[in-house]
Amino acid sequence: MHDLLQGFGTALTLANIGWIFFGVSLGYLVGALPGLGKGTATAIAIPLTFYITPLAAIAFLVGISKGSAAGSA
């Protein structure tokens, strides 16, 4: 139980939540554009992840993926 709480504490820091919010916002914008989808948005955003921590990069890419899926619906 301690490890689970520690994992949530690490993943849900303010910086990571900010990256998730930024990713979802970007995903909504890309998902609303015709012809662009989840794969394209993720591929375009990968170079941005070279400059942030790995956990924040994963949160950012998942946010883009989920935001794009919701934006294209």
Which residues, including other chains, have CB under 8 Å from residue 40's CB and lie 6 or more apart? 30
Tokens of 49: 């992840």
Per-residue pLDDT at 20 exceeds 80: yes
Question: Which region, left, alpha or beta, applies to residue 53 given φ > 0 means left and ψ of -120 to 50 means alpha?
Answer: beta
pLDDT of residue 59: 94
Per-residue pLDDT at 71 exceeds 90: no
pTM, whole model, 2 decimals?
Answer: 0.86
The pLDDT tens digits of the residues spanning 21-57 come to 999 999 999 988 888 888 888 998 999 999 999 999 9
Among 51, 8, 35, CA closest to 60: 51
Number of CB atoms found within 10 A of residue 6's CB: 10
